[in-house]
Amino acid sequence: MTAQLSKKSEAWSARFNEPVSDLVKRYTASVFFDKRLAYVDIQGSLAHAEMLAHQQIISQADHAEIQRGMAQIQEEITSGKFEWLLDLEDVHLNIEKRLTELVGDAGKRLHTGRSRNDQVATDIRLYVRSEIDNIVGLLRDLRLSLLDLAEQHADTILPGFTHMQVAQPITFGHHMLAYVEMFSRDAERMLDCRKRVNRLPLGAAALAGTTFPIDRERVARTLDFEDVCHNSLDAVSDRDFAIEFCAAAALIMTHVSRMSEELVIWMSPRVGFIDIADRFCTGSSIMPQKKNPDVPELARGKTGRVNGHLIALLTLMKGQPLAYNKDNQEDKEPLFDTVDTVVDTLRIFADMARGITVKPEAMRAAALQGYATATDLADYLVKKGLPFRDAHEAVAHAVRACVDRGIDLSDLTLEEMHVFSKLIEADIFEVLTLEGSVAARNHIGGTAPQQVRAAIARHRTKLS
């Protein structure tokens, strides 16, 4: 039986008296999703082999053979010729088996001083680090698209809302800058997460380290890690970095979802603030007039998917004793799908932002509804010496009178305004214009067009 199992090339075959059942093989195998780690697995193995040779743990000849074999394996993977075998369970054993076929005993010596436990932990960190760099770049592209849109509409007025009710006039450029701020924080979070991702587990071996005279710092330098993991138990069992990445990704998708919600509302004919380019929309199978904003709707839905992956990883880790457990195989599919979802979403949203057509007339008409300049009238009275609470009460009475008559505050005559406060003078009509309202908020973070353009310039400087 042992001889029969050895022919199957299972890494632990000599320990068992019967082969693993086909059902168990399918249930426990990860090769058909973790094969995306192939390139980083090769990268990590080459760094490990270089260190082993430098430390004279393997010969220079073996090192050269490992390099040669890995180069061929990488070419086979790239060309699609590499044969992935379920019997070999995962990406690591598939590559090691092929390496041994190509270079013989040198391939068998590669695993000296390491375990699949620290190997996979290293692979995942290399993968996440690379994807963080990619996502930060995509966040930059999205922000640049939003900055272009904001700059085009630094003066375009629309109503700002609280509780979905008209609150105060703002500019569309200012509104877009709110999302630029969100996505800027997302980039900061990703880069901060990268610091904790960028620590090397390799050398922890299965859980306790190794008896071989390895040089972990050398491998860290080769792979551009900033540090090594300083406890072997933690090194192989930690998935905090993956959870942190997924938390940052969930926040990205939350911001995308908030933006999506507004795009869907704004594109509705009942609102009509914007149009989205046809290439991001679909029609109806029965209603020929329909133009549906499918991309923002789907992104809004995919947010729940990414949130679910975060919860899955938190749940995965919550009951695990030290050190490595097979549970951790379940970290990859949520992580991989999170990456794919965020990357695709950011890429398409950067393009979609360039395909948004703004309708200033509809925005302006909406800003004239709901007494958006009421706060400006209250502020005016405060500047005339009236305590704010008294000013608030006076304006509330004025708004109530306008509601009863179906007119705007600016439609009141000066004499009618005196009913609510004798402090009101003829200059009030400049204050009650939409342009006057936004221009008056001329400070850092305010909606004044001057401040919008200044904020755009600051962001462009940071992104240059």
pLDDT value of position 6:
40
pLDDT value of position 113:
98
User: Average of pLDDT values for 168-184?
Assistant: 98
**Could you tell me the maximum CA-CA distance found in the chain, to the nearest angstrom?**
105
Superfamily of domain 369-463: Fumarase/aspartase (C-terminal domain) (1.10.40.30)
- Scored b (16 or more CB within 10 A) or e, 5-17 reads beeeebeebeeee
CATH numeric code, 15-112: 1.10.275.10
User: Looking at the predicted structure, is the pLDDT value of residue 4 above 50?
Assistant: no
Residue found under tokens 């299965």: 206
User: Looking at the predicted structure, is the pLDDT value of residue 237 above 50?
Assistant: yes
Q: Are 27 and 191 in contact (CB under 8 A)?
A: no
* Helices marked H in 153-239: 172-197, 216-222, 232-237
When pLDDT is cut at 50, 70 and 90, the band that residue 10 belongs to is low
pLDDT value of position 15:
72
Residue 108 tokens, joined: 């068998």
Summary count for the chain: helices (H), strands (E)? 21, 6
CA 228 – CA 326 distance, rounded (Å): 23
User: Looking at the predicted structure, is the pLDDT value of residue 403 above 80?
Assistant: yes
pLDDT value of position 11:
61
User: Average of pLDDT values for 3-16?
Assistant: 54
pLDDT value of position 13:
65
When pLDDT is cut at 50, 70 and 90, the band that residue 30 belongs to is confident
User: Looking at the predicted structure, is the pLDDT value of residue 441 above 90?
Assistant: yes
Arithmetic mean of pLDDT over the chain: 94
Which residue spans within 293-375 are E strands per DSSP? 356-358
pLDDT value of position 8:
45
CB atoms within 10 A of CB 67: 15
The pLDDT tens digits of the residues spanning 364-375 come to 999 998 899 999
User: Average of pLDDT values for 393-398?
Assistant: 96
Residue found under tokens 């138990």: 233
User: Looking at the predicted structure, is the pLDDT value of residue 82 above 90?
Assistant: yes
List where CATH 1.10.275.10 sits in the chain: 15-112
User: Average of pLDDT values for 328-349?
Assistant: 97
CA 12 – CA 246 distance, rounded (Å): 33
When pLDDT is cut at 50, 70 and 90, the band that residue 12 belongs to is low
Best CA proximity match to 103, nearest among 75, 61, 51, 74:
61
User: Average of pLDDT values for 148-153?
Assistant: 98
User: Looking at the predicted structure, is the pLDDT value of residue 5 above 90?
Assistant: no
> What does DSSP assign to residue 171?
E
User: Looking at the predicted structure, is the pLDDT value of residue 209 above 80?
Assistant: yes
Superfamily of domain 117-148+170-211+220-365: Fumarase/aspartase (Central domain) (1.20.200.10)
User: Average of pLDDT values for 154-162?
Assistant: 96
Q: Are 243 and 310 in contact (CB under 8 A)?
A: yes
pLDDT value of position 3:
39
CA 380 – CA 375 distance, rounded (Å): 8
List where CATH 1.20.200.10 sits in the chain: 117-148+170-211+220-365
User: Average of pLDDT values for 20-43?
Assistant: 88
Q: Are 261 and 301 in contact (CB under 8 A)?
A: no
With 0.95 as the threshold, say if the pTM is over it.
no
For residue 61, what are the contacts with CB-CB under 8 A and spacing of at least 6?
106
Distances (CA, A) of 281 to 138, 297, 364: 22, 10, 25
Beta-bridge partners for 165: 162
Residue 405 tokens, joined: 């008559």
Write out 254-277 in H/E/C secondary structure.
HHHHHHHHHHHHHHCCCCCCEEEC
pLDDT value of position 406:
93
Sign for the CA dihedral angle at 415, 416, 421, 424 comes to negative
Catalytic residues: 163, 284
User: Average of pLDDT values for 111-116?
Assistant: 98
When pLDDT is cut at 50, 70 and 90, the band that residue 387 belongs to is very high
User: Average of pLDDT values for 264-288?
Assistant: 94
Q: Are 167 and 195 in contact (CB under 8 A)?
A: no
User: Looking at the predicted structure, is the pLDDT value of residue 24 above 90?
Assistant: no
pLDDT value of position 296:
97
User: Looking at the predicted structure, is the pLDDT value of residue 2 above 70?
Assistant: no
List where CATH 1.10.40.30 sits in the chain: 369-463
The pLDDT tens digits of the residues spanning 318-333 come to 999 999 999 999 999 9
